[in-house]
Amino acid sequence: NAGVTQTPKFQVLKTGQSMTLQCAQDMNHNSMYWYRQDPGMGLRLIYYSASEGTTDKGEVPNGYNVSRLNKREFSLRLESAAPSQTSVYFCASSRLPDSNQPQHFGDGTRLSIL
Amino acid sequence: AQKITQTQPGMFVQEKEAVTLDCTYDTSDPSYGLFWYKQPSSGEMIFLIYQGSYDQQNATEGRYSLNFQKARKSANLVISASQLGDSAMYFCAMSPYNQGGKLIFGQGTELSVKP
């Protein structure tokens, strides 16, 4: 059981480069989320997709775009990477977009921007 | 503003003893969910336990229990009979009602279990 799969696991970029982080879940979940975790801090929500066809901004959306490609896949794009976006990125999914639903997380993508 | 506060950056506990990790939250919503996650040094986020704001009883999952005091807005995690494998970061999180299921996380508590 793969659960939530994120690719790549590690990436180094130069300032100004673009890249897309991929996320796929095989649990037939409706809702998907992107978080970032900076050193010594908890996770902060970047964007989320409550259901297929919808996306909404979270707490820290600036510099990012997302695409809910289908029910399984939710990608995060950095159009012009900045050193402040160096972080660990987590994708998560839940069965429904409700406050009683636990989220299941991928293993994270460690992104460094030089 | 909705916020989660974990005031213990680091905690030590002796193997086989119980430990309580503190969590307080701030919200004006009457309905919300509270979660605890474990993050080992390998980095993944593992769901441990859930408590609903209207649940009358404290949640329990194996060696984990949640000491929920709604009036004090606290949701402390109790780990009984600590094991070496419990050494990790622990995050408290809140999901506000009708906001897409998003989670608001605290800063985390690093737990070290001593043999």
Summarised one tens digit per residue, pLDDT across range B65-83 is: 999 999 999 999 999 999 9
| Confidence at residue A53, expressed as pLDDT on a 0 to 100 scale | 92
Percent of chain A with pLDDT over 70: 99
From residue B75, give the alpha-carbon distance in Å to each of A89, B4, B46, B91: 26, 10, 18, 11
- Over residues A9-33, mean pLDDT: 97
- Over residues B25-41, mean pLDDT: 95
The minimum CA-CA distance between B33 and chain A, rounded to whole Å, is: 5
The minimum CA-CA distance between A60 and chain B, rounded to whole Å, is: 12
* Interface mutation target, options A99, A104, A111, chain B, most CBs of B under 10 Å: A99
Query: To which residue do tokens 């409706």 refer?
Result: A30
Give the pairing type, strands B19-21 and B64-69: unpaired
Would you call A99 and B91 a contact, using CB atoms and an 8 Å cutoff? no
Residue of B nearest to A49 (CA): B100
Residue of B nearest to A88 (CA): B43
Query: Which chain A residues are closer than 8 Å to B104 by Cβ?
Result: 45, 59
- Over residues A5-11, mean pLDDT: 97
Is the per-residue pLDDT at A32 higher than 80?
yes
Q: For residue B106, give the DSSP letter.
A: -
| Confidence at residue A1, expressed as pLDDT on a 0 to 100 scale | 62
| Residue A43 φ/ψ, nearest 5 degrees | -80, 145
| Residue B86 φ/ψ, nearest 5 degrees | -80, -10
- How distant is the alpha carbon of residue B30 from its chain centre? 19
| Residue B104 φ/ψ, nearest 5 degrees | -110, 120
The minimum CA-CA distance between B41 and chain A, rounded to whole Å, is: 12
- Over residues B14-39, mean pLDDT: 96
- Which of B31, B50, B105 is nearest residue A43 as measured by Cβ atoms? B105
Structure tokens at B70: 């709604």
Would you call A100 and B102 a contact, using CB atoms and an 8 Å cutoff? no
- Over residues A62-79, mean pLDDT: 96
